[in-house]
Structure 1
Amino acid sequence: MKRLCYIGLGCFLTSVGTSILHHSHVLTGGTAGLSLMMSYLSNIPFGVVFFLINIPFYVLSVMNMGWNFTLSTILSVTLLSVITVGMDWILPSFSIPMSIGAVTGGVIIGFGLSTLFMNRASLGGFNILALILQKRRNCNPGTINFILDFVVVSLGFYSIGFWQGLLSILSIAITSSIISYFKNKIALSNQSTTSNSHVNRYPVKTTVRMN
């Protein structure tokens, strides 16, 4: 129950951070960034696009991270989508200065994603790739997250303008730095998941001696 509460908190924080970036017209990376760009172009709500774009990554998650992690990720993606759509309906239209939105949104998303990672969940997409590489190759998930996010932001760099592009890069750098700060706790969480799966797969046999 405690883990589910933390997952809910992580989704809420990430949703708030994404909303701040959206209203300050700053891009973010990963599948969230792709979803924001597609939302801008198609006028389809971000939550709907974000949910659909993550579906192909679930197969990769099952193969490398197991069903426990995958189901938690599906729950997180669904919850984030619902929260984001709900916030769009409830909150009035507003705008935030780009510089303030980039820093504030990046910080909040960083803590939100770190909370999810430390509780064996993610928001799918590139989050899954970052955690797989940490698990298999001991890579820093914050660094991997920044590289993949940078690629996504670069795709929209020329369409959003130079200054807005720089602020978008600043935002993902802040998010990745916070994830890197918690990398050891995230690694321990993944190791505990792996240990539990080995225990369940190879149960200890006990022998009862009759005197």
Structure 2
Amino acid sequence: MKKILFILLGCLIVTFGIIVLRHSNIVTGGTAGLSLSVTYLTNIPFAITFFLINLPFYIFSVLQMGWRFTLTTAGAVTVLSLMTAVDQFLPSFSIPMLVGAVLGGLLIGLGLSLIFMNGASLGGANILALFLQKRFNLNPGTINFIFDLFVVVSSIYVIGWIKGLCSILSIFVISKVISYFKEDIKRKTTAPAKKEKQARPKVHVPLAD
């Protein structure tokens, strides 16, 4: 129950970050960034595009991370989709791009770290980042940054160079925040396995003469 509450809190923090980015007219990386780009092009609500774009990544998650992680991730994605839908009812406002890039990046990085530490993700590159950390001990912040950079660069023709550079700043901040918590993420996601190994201490039984 405690983990679920922390995942919900993480989703809420990420929601604030996405709203900040959206009202700064810049994008972020991953499936969230792709979804924001689609909303700029089509005006389709972010909640719908975000949910649909994440569907293919669940196949990889089931095969490599297991059903429990996948279902928890699907739940987190659904919750985030519902939370971000609130943005449709907010009054129109704008945030300076530089402020939005840093503030939005900090919020999304904090929210993602909290979600990662409690056995879930927000789909897309998040799943791959956690898989590579678990399998090869790679920095999840760096993996996220590489994929996010690809998404942002491919979105520059939609948002322009200035907004694109601010978007790169945003994903840089996100990666730095996640990298700061990488040891906590690793420790909390591998803790159960360590406990199982230490469950039964060896008992020395002396041999009879």
Provide the TM-score with structure 2 as the length reference: 0.90
Alpha-carbon RMSD across the aligned residues, in angstroms, is 1.6
Q: How many residues align?
A: 198
How much has 1:86 moved relative to structure 2? 2.1
Higher mean C-alpha displacement, 103-112 vs 35-44 = 35-44
Letter in 1 for 2:116: F
Instruction: Report deviation, 1:8.
Output: 0.4
Does 1:137 pair with 2:136? yes
What's the counterpart of residue 71 of structure 2?
A: 71
Partner residue, 1:160: 159
* One-letter identity of the residue aligned with 1:14: V
Identity value in percent: 56
User: Structure 1: 5+ residue runs without aligned partners?
Assistant: 205-211
* TM superposition shift of 1:87: 3.1
Amino acid at match of 2:176: S
8 Å contact from structure 2 (residues 37, 158) kept in 1: no
Pick closer, same or farther for the CA change 1:195–1:68 going to 2, 3 Å: farther
**Aligned counterparts of 1:193 and 1:76: Cα–Cα separation in 2:** 21
Deviation at 1:71, TM superposition (A): 1.1
Name which of structure 1's ranges 157-166 and 66-75 shifts more when overlaid on structure 2: 157-166
Provide the secondary structure at the position in 2 that maps to 1:24: coil
| Matched residue SS, 2:66 | helix
TM-fit CA distance, 1:41: 1.1
Alpha-carbon offset, residue 190 of structure 1: 2.3
Cα deviation for residue 2 of structure 1 reads 1.0
CA distance in 2 between counterparts of 1:88 and 1:6 reads 25
Give the letter aligned to residue 179 of structure 2: S
Taking a change above 3 Å as real, the CA distance of residues 29 and 193 of structure 1, as seen in their structure-2 partners, is: farther
1:81 has 2:85 as partner: no
Q: 1:177 to 1:147 in 2, by over 3 A?
A: same
CA distance in 2, matches of 1:81, 1:88: 12
- Runs of 5+ consecutive residues of structure 2 not aligned to the other structure: 201-209
Task: Verify the 8 A CA contact 2:109 2:175 in the aligned structure 1.
Answer: yes
Which residue pairs with 2:45 in the alignment?
45
How far did residue 185 of structure 1 move?
1.1
Letter in 2 for 1:115: L
**CA distance in structure 2 between the partners assigned to 1:88 and 1:80 by the alignment:** 14
SS at match of 2:166: helix
Task: Work out whether 1:12 is the aligned partner of 2:7.
Answer: no
Compute the displacement of 1:50 (Å).
0.3
- Give me the whole-angstrom Cα distance separating, in 1, the residues matched to 2:164 and 2:145: 14
- 1:10 is displaced (CA, Å) by 0.4
Amino acid across the alignment from 1:192: A
Whole-Å Cα distance in 2 between the matches of residues 38 and 133 of structure 1?
A: 28
Q: Distance in 2 between matches of 1:97 and 1:194?
A: 46
Amino acid at match of 2:145: F
Question: How much does 1:193 deviate?
Answer: 5.3
Which TM-score applies when normalising by structure 1? 0.89
1:209 is matched with none
Given that 2:15 and 2:83 are in contact with CA atoms closer than 8 Å, whether structure 1 keeps it comes out as: yes
Query: In structure 2, what is the Cα distance between the partners aligned to 1:60 and 1:193?
Result: 23
| Alpha-carbon distance, 1:159 to partner | 3.3
Distance (Å, rounded) in 1 between the aligned partners of 2:105 and 2:33: 12
Please say if 1:107 is aligned against 2:106.
Answer: yes
